[in-house]
């Protein structure tokens, strides 16, 4: 190798070294945040724990539903905002208030017709008044968290309905013939006491929804509150349809409008049941509008029943007698109360679409 070639090789080596130093200097002065972003992008996810470790984590969790969610690797249920909780709870309070009002007026008329022969016949009146007061208090309460007075009253209402159903069944069995059409038509209505139980259950659900636990969607008995309320509203509507169908069958469906409360609400019940058991989705516009029509049907039914009272001998001039003969004015708004509960369930499910 000549001296000239060696000099050129030395110069080339020096140039490459200078370029390398310059590059290293540029990398050394790169902003830390950019370098961190690059490293984070290249970082691999941590390896999944072995099944035995996941099983131990499942057993050490705080709540069964949370443990199962973590063990299966599912995304956690989104937390519902406090304002949404309170709004749904107030709608449930209105539902409980409507049901309690219907029970108060209906039981007052029916038990007055029975001359309050049994002192226990005063019980649903007192419990209904307390339930209505609790519902009004809850409707105006914009705070989160349970209220001890409302919780106790709603529990008493739910128990009263169950005991009342037992009394009504006993009233039918002690009549000649027992469970025959005549006694089912004109005896103590079997399904009536369950209305106050539904008021208590809706009010208790409102207190569960108000129970503010950060980072967790509202649940009732460990299940998503929206689905539980949809199932409860569906069952309540279906039971009310059964009672209405029996009494309208007694009236021989002489007015075609008498078919409305035995055709529209069952569709609402089926839609709510599909909401409770079907796949999670956000858009339930058809169910929402059908529930609104069912709620409207409750108020329209009061007008039809008022027309039925007018058709009795003497009309409204003989109101003291004809109100007792029926049809009962306070009965139809039960559909309104249960439809409001179904709408509250839809509100909760829209806030937790993955539940």
Domain parsing of the chain, residue ranges: 79-351
Of 67-71, 109-113, 321-325, 326-330, the least confident: 67-71
Higher pLDDT, 221 or 354: 221
Distance of CA 181 to the CA centre of its chain: 35
Of 341, 292, 352, give the one whose Cα is nearest residue 93. 341
What sign results for the dihedral spanned by CA atoms 211, 123, 232, 263?
negative
* 153 touches 131 (CB < 8 A): yes
Average pLDDT over residues 157-161: 92
Highest mean pLDDT among 6-10, 237-241, 311-315, 319-323: 237-241
Q: Decide: helix, strand or coil at residue 284.
A: coil
Higher pLDDT, 300 or 66: 300
pLDDT of residue 30: 42
pLDDT of residue 49: 53
Give the integer Cα–Cα distance in Å for 85 and 211: 8
pLDDT of residue 236: 92
Average pLDDT over residues 252-276: 92
pLDDT of residue 212: 61
Q: Decide if pLDDT at 295 tops 90.
A: yes
Q: What is the mean pLDDT of the chain?
A: 78
Average pLDDT over residues 224-235: 90
Q: Decide if pLDDT at 218 tops 70.
A: yes
pLDDT of residue 53: 53
Give the integer Cα–Cα distance in Å for 162 and 157: 9
Give the integer Cα–Cα distance in Å for 190 and 194: 8
pLDDT of residue 71: 44
Question: Residue 135 — pLDDT band, cuts 50, 70, 90?
Answer: very high
Give the integer Cα–Cα distance in Å for 278 and 353: 12
pLDDT in tens, 279-288: 766 678 899 9
pLDDT of residue 25: 46
Looking at 15-96, which runs of residues are DSSP E strands? none
Give the integer Cα–Cα distance in Å for 79 and 212: 10
pLDDT of residue 48: 52
Of 332, 308, 180, give the one whose Cα is nearest residue 254. 308
pLDDT of residue 220: 80
Helices (H) and strands (E) in the chain, counts: 14, 2
pTM metric for this prediction: 0.71
pLDDT of residue 215: 59
**Residue 181 DSSP code:** H
* 330 touches 196 (CB < 8 A): no
Tokens 């299966």: give the residue. 72
pLDDT of residue 269: 94
pLDDT of residue 86: 84
pLDDT of residue 265: 94
Higher pLDDT, 55 or 230: 230
Give the integer Cα–Cα distance in Å for 243 and 264: 15
Render 225-273 in DSSP notation, one character per residue.
HHHHHHHHHHHHHHHHHHHHHHHHHHTTT-SGGGGGGGTHHHHHHHHHH
pLDDT in tens, 66-110: 444 444 444 444 445 677 788 888 889 999 999 999 999 988 888
């Amino acid at each position: 190798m000549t001296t000239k070639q060696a000099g050129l090789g030395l110069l080339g080596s020096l140039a490459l070294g200078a370029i390398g130093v310059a590059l290293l200097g540029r990398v050394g002065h790169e902003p830390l945040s950019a370098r961190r972003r690059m490293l984070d992008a290249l970082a691999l996810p941590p390896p999944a724990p072995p099944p035995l470790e996941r099983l131990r984590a499942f057993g050490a969790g705080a709540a069964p539903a949370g443990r199962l969610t973590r063990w299966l690797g599912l995304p956690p249920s989104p937390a519902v905002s406090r304002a949404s909780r309170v709004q749904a709870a107030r709608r449930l309070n209105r539902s409980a208030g409507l049901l309690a009002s219907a029970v108060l007026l209906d039981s007052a008329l029916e038990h007055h017709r029975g001359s309050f022969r049994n002192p226990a016949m005063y019980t649903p009146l007192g419990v209904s008044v307390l339930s209505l007061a609790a519902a009004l208090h809850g409707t105006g309460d914009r705070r989160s968290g349970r209220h001890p007075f409302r919780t106790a009253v709603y529990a008493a209402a739910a128990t009263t309905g169950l005991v009342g159903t037992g009394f009504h069944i006993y009233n039918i069995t002690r009549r000649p013939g027992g469970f025959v059409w005549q006694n089912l038509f004109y005896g103590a209505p079997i399904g009536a006491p369950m209305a106050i139980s539904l008021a208590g259950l809706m009010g208790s659900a409102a207190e569960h929804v108000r129970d503010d636990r950060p980072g967790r969607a509202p649940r009732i008995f460990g299940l998503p509150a929206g689905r539980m309320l949809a199932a409860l509203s569906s069952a309540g509507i279906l039971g009310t349809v059964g009672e209405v169908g029996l009494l309208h069958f007694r009236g021989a469906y002489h007015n075609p409008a008498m078919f409305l409360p035995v055709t529209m609400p069952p569709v609402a019940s089926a839609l709510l049941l599909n909401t409770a058991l079907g796949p999670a989705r956000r858009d339930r516009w058809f169910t929402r509008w059908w529930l609104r029509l069912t709620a409207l049907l409750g108020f329209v039914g009061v007008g039809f029943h008022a027309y039925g009272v007018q058709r009795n001998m003497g009309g409204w001039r003989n109101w003291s007698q004809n109100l007792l003969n029926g049809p009962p004015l306070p009965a139809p708004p039960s559909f309104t109360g249960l439809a409001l509960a179904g709408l509250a369930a839809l509100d909760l499910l829209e806030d937790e679409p993955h539940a």
